[in-house]
Structure 1
Amino acid sequence: MSGPPPPVVFGDELKDAFKPVNAWVANGIAWLDDIQAFYRERAAIEKEYAGKLNSLSKRFYDKKSKKSASLTVGDTPQLTPGSLESASLTTWTTILNTTEQLASEHDTFSTALSLQVADVLKSLATRYDDYRKRYESLSTKLLEERDKVYGDLKKAKSNYDLGCKGVEEKRQKVDKSFDASKAKAQKSYQNELTEMSNVKNTYLLQLAATNRHKQRYYNEDLPEIINSLQDLNETRVAKVNGLWTLSSTLETTCHQNAISHLNLQISEIARNLPVLDSGMFLKHNVAPWTEPPSFVFEASPIWHDNPDMVVDEQAQVYLRNMLQKSRRGMDGLKGEVERRGKEIQQLSERWNSIKMDESQAQKEVDVVRSLVYSQEEILPHAANLLTWQVEIEVIVNAVGDIARGTQSHNFKSTTFKIPTNCDLCGERMWGLTSKGFTCTDCGYSCHSKCEMKAPANCPGVLDKAGKKALREERKQLSVANGGGSEIDLLGSGGLTRTNTTASTTSTLAPRGVNAMGTRMTKSPSISGASIASNASSTNATPPPTVSTSAAIVAAPPPRRVLAPPPDRYIASPALEDSRPSTPASTVHTDSATETGKVLYAFAASGENELQVSEGTVVSILDDDGSWMTVRRPDGQEGLVPTSYVEKIASTPRVSKRGPPPPVKPRGAKKEKKVRALYAYEPQGEDEVPMGAGEEFVVVERDVGGWVRVRVVGGGEGLVPGTYVEDV
Structure 2
Amino acid sequence: MDGPTVNFGEELKTANGIEFLDDAQAFYRERAALEKDYATRMSALTKKFLDRKAKKASSLSVGDTPQMTPGSLESASVTTWSTILTSHDSLAKEHDSLSNALITQISDPLKAIATRYEEYRKLYNTLNMKVMADRDGVYSELKKSKGSYDAECKQVEDKRAKVDKAFDSSKTKAEKSYSQELIEMHNIKNTYLIKINVANRHKQKYYHEDIPDILNSLQDLNETRITKLNGIWTLGCQLDINCRQNSITLLSDTVKEIARNLPALDSAMFSRHNMGGWVEPNNFEFEPSQIWHDTSDIVVDDLATVFLRNILGKSRKELEGAKAQVDARNREIESLRKTRDSIKLNEEMQLKEAEVTRSLLIHQEQLVPHSSKLTTLQVEISTILNAVGDVERGTQTHKFKSKTFTIPTTCDLCGERAWRLTGAGFSCQDCGYTCHAKCEMKVPAQCPGVLDKAGKKALKEEMKSTAPSTGGDSGVALSRSNTMNSLSSSYAGGGGGATAPQRMGSTLSRTTSPAANTPAETAVPAASSLNAVAAAASPAVRRNRVIAPPPERYVSAPPPEAPRPSAEKDEVVGRMLYAYSANGAGEISVEGGQEVVIVEPDDGSGWIQVQVGSLSGLVPASYVDASPPPSTPIEGRPDSRHSSSNVSISNSIVGSMTGSGTIKKKGPAVKPKRGAKRVKHVEALYEYSARSDLEWDMLEGDRFVLVKEDSGDGWCEVEKGGVTKSVPSAYVQVID
TM over 0.5: no
Greater C-alpha radius of gyration: 2
Using the size of structure 2 for normalisation, the TM-score is 0.39
